[in-house]
Structure formats: structure tokens, C-alpha cells
């Protein structure tokens, strides 16, 4: 089943030249798309447009993201950590459909939030203020927030930046489990690890490339100027994909694509 169809989309900020243009992507049930690209390439701008937080500069996202149950874990630098909310409130804000951030929630919702926090290993933080949390704790709390509405599409923008190795591994295993019933779009710089789990890859570096597989060559990464280390997994060979054909961005000298 198609969840989202994106046609000829341009993303960016009003009054400024587009950050990424020519985006064509269809997200289907149980897809698992890894999004890679260099700093400032436009990954977060694309993700925010996908969630409806930014309006498209051109083109279309169908159906409108409002029609879809969507869970979103934002890149952590964009969170205002002084926000005077408790951990439980933040998790429950993932349920807000018309309730507003300070809306009233019932006991069931509170219990559900607590159960999720326990499952993710941060139940002891339930009563704390989010502003007091470490980066890794906040990231886990925001994952609970993204999951509480049981999304059809889970969007994660660099979910492992602050977490330790142990939780990182647990997170990828949890996502593989969740992918049995929801589509996932995940931004990460750690292609070596995620390529084990994702089913397809999107490269965003001012232009947009979709690869319908989880295998990408070191040569291609260099071409996209992606600061990503390619790690091979035991005996699994890496297929070398051919160059993207007919892409104006790729044919331009590198400095112009920045």
C-alpha cells in the first residue's frame, strides 16, 4: 500500500532559493528508507517538509501528511530544552490530535506512556523535566513520543547521535521489529550500520537520489561528497552501482552543489 507519493517536490525556506529540488519518492507500507548526505545537504529540511512542519516550495506530497498516522523523532538540536514539560507530558504530546500541548490526557494514556518509557529503558525518568535530561535520555524519550500513536510511518532524524553503543544496537533491533508493521524513514550518517537494516537508500546533497537497494558503493558516496565511512559486513559483497544518469546536480562541479 502506498503511504506517501512525492512528485517534483522542492523544499526550503520561504524567500530563499530551494535547498533541495526534483524530489520524487513513493513511500510504501513497511518500507525502510535510510537517508544519508553531508551536513547542510538538506536532509532535515526534507524531513520537516515530509512531516508537514514546512510547506513545500513546489510540487506535491500526497496524501497530505495530516491524513497519515505519523511518528517523528526530530534531530535533537532543534528541541528547546528549556521547555517546562515533564517526560511523561512530552511522550503524551505524541498523541496530540487537537488536544494542544497542554491538553488533558486520561489515565490510560498516562499508563501507555509509562509502559513505553519502561520498554525503552527510561521508565525511571517519567516524572523528570525534559530540560534536565542528557542528550541520549532525551533521544529515548522522544522515541517514545514518536511511537505512542502507533504510527503507520515512523520518521527519525539522526536518532543515535547522543546514545551509547549498547542502546544504539537495541534501537536498530527495535526498529527492525517495528518495521514489520510500519514504514520507517531514518536519517543517519552511519551508513555502515544502517545498511544492515534499511531496504533502500536516499542520498540528499542539494539534489535527491533514490536507490532501491541497501547497497551503495564507496565510489558513489565520494561522488555525493557524503562524509560516511563504508564498512563491509563480513563476507557480504558490496555491489558497485552505476552512476546516476541525467542528473544536472551530479554533472556540476562540487562547489556549485553546496
Ligand X SMILES: Nc1ncnc2c1ncn2[C@@H]1O[C@H](COP(=O)(O)OP(=O)(O)OP(=O)(O)O)[C@@H](O)[C@H]1O
Which residues sit at the interface with Mg ion, rule CB under 5 A?
A: 43-44, 75
Size of the site for ligand X (CB under 6 A): 12
19 binding ligand X? (CB under 6 A): yes
Q: Answer with the entry of Mg ion, ligand X, none that 41 interacts with (C-beta below 5 to 8 A by kind).
A: ligand X
* Cα distance between residue 75 and residue 47, in whole Å: 10
257 binding ligand X? (CB under 6 A): no
Q: Which of residues 35-64 bind ligand X (CB under 6 A)?
A: 37, 39-45
Specify whether the backbone of 22 is left (phi greater than 0), alpha (psi in -120 to 50) or beta: left
Quick one: which segment of 33-41, 97-105, 115-123, 240-248 binds ligand X (CB under 6 A)?
A: 33-41
Question: Kind and range of the H or E element at 2?
Answer: strand 2-11
83 binding ligand X? (CB under 6 A): no
Residue closest to 71 by CA, chosen among 177, 144, 141, 175: 144
Q: Catalogue the E-assigned strands of 101-159.
A: 153-157
Q: Cis link prior to 240 (omega < 30° from 0)?
A: no
227 binding ligand X? (CB under 6 A): no
Least separation in angstroms between CB 111 and ligand X: 35
13 binding ligand X? (CB under 6 A): yes
Q: Which of residues 206-225 bind ligand X (CB under 6 A)?
A: none
Contact 33, 27 (CB under 8 A): yes
- Residues found near ligand X in the complex (CB under 6 A): 13, 16, 19, 37, 39-45, 75
Amino acid at each position: 500500500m502506498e503511504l506517501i507519493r512525492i512528485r517534483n517536490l522542492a523544499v526550503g525556506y520561504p524567500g530563499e532559493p530551494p535547498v533541495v529540488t526534483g524530489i520524487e519518492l513513493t513511500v510504501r507500507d513497511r518500507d525502510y528508507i535510510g537517508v544519508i548526505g553531508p551536513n547542510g545537504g538538506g536532509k532535515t529540511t526534507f524531513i520537516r517538509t515530509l512531516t508537514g512542519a514546512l510547506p513545500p516550495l513546489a510540487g506535491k506530497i500526497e496524501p497530505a501528511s495530516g491524513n497519515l498516522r505519523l511518528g517523528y523523532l526530530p534531530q535533537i538540536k532543534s528541541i528547546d530544552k528549556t521547555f517546562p514539560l515533564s517526560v511523561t507530558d512530552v511522550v503524551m504530546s505524541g498523541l496530540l490530535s487537537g488536544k494542544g500541548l497542554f491538553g488533558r490526557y486520561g489515565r490510560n494514556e498516562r499508563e501507555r506512556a509509562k509502559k513505553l518509557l519502561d520498554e525503552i529503558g527510561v521508565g525511571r525518568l517519567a516524572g523528570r523535566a525534559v530540560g534536565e535530561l542528557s542528550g541520549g535520555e532525551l533521544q529515548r524519550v522522544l522515541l517514545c513520543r514518536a511511537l505512542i500513536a502507533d504510527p503507520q510511518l515512523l520518521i527519525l532524524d539522526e536518532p543515535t547521535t547522543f546514545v551509547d553503543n549498547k542502546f544504539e544496537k537495541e534501537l536498530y533491533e527495535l526498529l527492525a521489529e517495528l518495521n514489520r508493521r510500519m514504514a520507517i524513514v531514518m536519517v543517519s550518517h552511519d551508513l555502515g550500520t544502517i545498511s544492515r537494516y534499511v531496504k533502500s537508500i536516499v542520498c540528499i546533497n542539494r539534489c535527491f537520489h533514490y536507490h532501491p537497494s541497501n547497497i551503495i558503493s564507496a565510489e558513489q558516496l565520494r561522488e555525493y561528497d557524503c562524509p560516511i565511512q563504508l564498512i563491509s559486513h563480513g563476507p557480504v559483497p558490496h555491489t558497485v552501482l552505476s552512476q546516476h544518469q541525467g542528473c544536472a546536480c551530479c554533472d556540476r562541479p562540487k562547489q556549485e552543489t553546496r
